[in-house]
Amino acid sequence: MTTNSIIVEQAELKDLSWSRLFGNEHAVELEIGTGKAGFLLRRAQAHPDTNFLGIEWANKFYKYAADRMARWGMANVRMLRTDADYFIKVVCPRESLSVLHVYHPDPWPKKRHHKRRLIQKQFVDAAVACLIPGGRWAVQTDHAEYFNAIRPLLLEHPELDEVAFDDPVFGVAEARIATNFEIKYLREGRDLYQIAVRRKA
């Protein structure tokens, strides 16, 4: 397995087809903001018959994650460096994701920067459209104010119902996902805020 076989090229995003990208019809999970991809790697190892796409904008983390997946021979993982907002709104096939993972998105804490936040109403609408009926979406952040903005966007959406964050569907053990950010923040004593939802069937 080479790094090149893990990386999704921009040309492959035109009329994106999961079956063409992965070469099979397996269920697809997407993680936005993989960091060093510790969670994605464990998840893919535990579910070899599921396809996983990781999106990471930070170039050094993106390259690290792609190389890591290649070294581990993860045939069911692809890595993509792109703008996640654009991907969800424009590229992602509708009703195609079984699970969406969004852990520790950039909170853009200054009020004048809030418009740059990923999780806003239009993004939520598009993300819900990308989920299959019954598909799950999990979000975790260490930023209370951002969480208080995210929570009503999900809970008030007419097509979403809240579910347990440690639902086995997400691969979350005892409400811990063990991303690099989570490990760091717990070590620092920060509170973590979690929510999970399901698209109504």
Distances (CA, A) of 49 to 28, 34, 57, 88, 115: 10, 20, 26, 23, 38
C-alpha 164/C-alpha 170 separation (Å) is 10
Please say if 106 is a catalytic residue: yes
Sign of CA dihedral 60, 8, 47, 95: positive
Q: What are phi and psi of 108, to 5 degrees?
A: 40, 70
Instruction: Give the active site residue among 106, 125, 166, 167.
Output: 106
Helix H or strand E segment including 137 = strand 131-141
Tokens standing for residue 72: 């581990």
Question: What is the Cα–Cα distance from 164 to 90, expressed in whole angstroms?
Answer: 29
The whole-angstrom separation of Cα 6 and Cα 77 is: 7
Residue 168: CB atoms within 10 A of its CB come to 8
Cβ atoms of 196 and 160 closer than 8 Å: no
User: What are the catalytic residues?
Assistant: 106
